[in-house]
Structure 1
Amino acid sequence: MTDILILYYSRFGHTAAMANLIARGVEEVPGAVAKLRTVPDVSPVCAATADSIPGSGPPYATLEDLQNCDGLALGSPTHFGNMAAPLKHFLDSTSGLWFSGALSGKPGGVFTATSSMHGGQELTLMTMMVPLLHHGMLLVGIPSREAALGQTQTGGTPYGPSRLTGGHPTISDEEHQICRVFGKRLALAAAALKGSGID
């Protein structure tokens, strides 16, 4: 089996909808399994402890989820050209995995949603790649031959799936296709790299 961790934060459900489409793309690959995980909110005033089980949606991610995955899709809404604080807070806790090289040589990619066309989709994706590179991951994006990239009027980039949510309550056909293609591509890369000795 090839286990793909889809780790995301979503406040209003837009990033979560993308995560579910990416999971569908992952599971189009024989033997690939998508594991959806999220992270808890952080307190704006002090360190807070969230319940260990969220009220709804997927379970919270653990360091073991990261350690045991064969590939990673990391998703967040765009917050001023960067990932949301809850996801960054979780990634800041992964130093032990960095020291051990647990993610080194595994494929990883990123996805985002934003409410405005020029809200920083591409910059967010690029800043989200930085922790993956520090972990030694191999980046997976969307190839230019994917027709939906040339047709989209909302979201979608070569750096990873993106979605424009402002004024667009439903995901566009192109955004849908790009998410599915990304999930499938990530799973195929993970299957090819698994056991390859690349780290």
Structure 2
Amino acid sequence: MTRILVLYYSSYGHVRALAHAEAEGARSVPGSHVDIRRVPETVPDHIRQKAGFAEDDTPVAAPADLESYDAIIFGTPTLFGMMAGQMKSFLDQAGGLWARNALVGKVAAVFASTGSQHGGHEATLLSTQIPLQHFGMLIAGMPYSFAGQTTAEGIVGGAPYGAGTIAGADGARAPSEVDLAGARFQGTHVARIAKRLAGANLHEEAA
């Protein structure tokens, strides 16, 4: 089985919705085992409640868990043009994995939710890939074979760098079907790559 982790942080549910679509796409590839986890929250409960954060009962991951997977798909909201601090804090705690080269050669991908089309959507997708490359991971984007990202009919999230959605300044816009289709496409894309690499590794070990 190829083991795939969809790991995300979500404040209002947009990234969580994309995470489930990513997982759905990954599960469509035979031989794939997919887990969905979230990174720990760092915002105090009283602030979460005041800000109207969505409740989320998804199990929480620990940095040590990452080593057990062949591919990891990271999801984050855009905060001031960058990944959320919760995701950055999680990655900052994975120094032990970096020191042991434990993530080298594993597949990684990124998806994001952003308040506006020009609010750092692509910057978040790209900058989140930087620490993943420091870990030695292989980056998978969302190629143009997903034609939905080229439509000019309405607001569309995502880019060649990863799937995504535009939530609107007030967060009222839910991911569209095109956005969700992009996430499913990316999940499938990652699972196929991971399966091929896992097969190649098994072949090399047997040789």
Check whether TM > 0.5.
yes
Q: Does 1:125 align with 2:134?
A: no
Superposition pairs of residues 45-64 of structure 1, within 5 angstroms: 56-64=56-64
Residue 191 (structure 1) aligns with = 195
Give the conservation status (yes or no) of the 8 Å contact 2:113–2:164. Answer: yes
Q: Which piece of structure 1 moves more, 171-180 or 143-152?
A: 143-152
* 2:125 maps to amino acid: L
Give the conservation status (yes or no) of the 8 Å contact 1:71–1:106. Answer: yes
Q: Distance in 2 between matches of 1:25 and 1:57?
A: 21
Q: Deviations over 1:66-117 (max 9, x none)?
A: 0101101011000111111111101000011001111100110001001111
Q: Does 1:181 align with 2:178?
A: no
Q: Distance in 2 between matches of 1:122 and 1:149?
A: 13
| Divergent runs of 4+, >6 A | none
- The runs of 5 or more residues in structure 1 that have no matched partner are 45-54
Superposition pairs of residues 89-100 of structure 1, within 5 angstroms: 89-100=89-100
Superposition pairs of residues 1-199 of structure 1, within 5 angstroms: 1-43=1-43, 56-151=56-151, 153-166=155-168, 169-194=173-198, 196-197=200-201
Q: Distance in 2 between matches of 1:65 and 1:76?
A: 18
Q: Distance in 2 between matches of 1:98 and 1:133?
A: 10
Give the conservation status (yes or no) of the 8 Å contact 2:22–2:183. Answer: yes
Seq. identity, %: 41
* 1:26 maps to amino acid: A
Q: Distance in 2 between matches of 1:145 and 1:63?
A: 32
Q: Distance in 2 between matches of 1:165 and 1:17?
A: 12
Paired residue total: 188
For 2:59, what is the secondary structure of its paired residue? coil
Structure 2 length-normalised TM: 0.86
- 1:170 deviates by 2.7
Q: Distance in 2 between matches of 1:135 and 1:2?
A: 20
Q: Distance in 2 between matches of 1:12 and 1:76?
A: 11
Q: Distance in 2 between matches of 1:196 and 1:77?
A: 34
Give the conservation status (yes or no) of the 8 Å contact 1:156–1:174. Answer: no
For 2:21, what is the secondary structure of its paired residue? helix
Q: Distance in 2 between matches of 1:189 and 1:154?
A: 25
Structure 1 length-normalised TM: 0.89
CA-atom RMSD in angstroms: 1.7
